[in-house]
Amino acid sequence: MAVAGTLAYSEDDELSGNLDGLQILLVEDDAADAYLIKCALSKNPRVGSIVSASDGVSALRAIEHGGACPDLAIIDLQMDGFRFLVELGCRPQYRFPKFVLTSSTSRSDLLRSRLRRADRIMHKPDTLNQLEVLLSNAIAKI
pLDDT above 50 for 12: no
Give the least confident one: 6-10, 38-42, 101-105: 6-10
CB 29 within 8 A of CB 54: yes
C-alpha distances (whole Å) from 134 to each of 55, 82, 116, 121, 127 are 22, 21, 22, 11, 11
Kind and range of the H or E run holding 75? strand 72-75
Q: In this predicted model, what pLDDT tens digit does every residue of 86-138 receive, in sequence order?
A: 999 899 888 899 999 999 989 999 899 998 989 999 999 999 999 999 999 99
Rounded to an integer, what distance in angstroms lies between the CA atom of residue 62 and that of residue 69?
Answer: 8
Q: 20-140 sits in which CATH class?
A: alpha beta
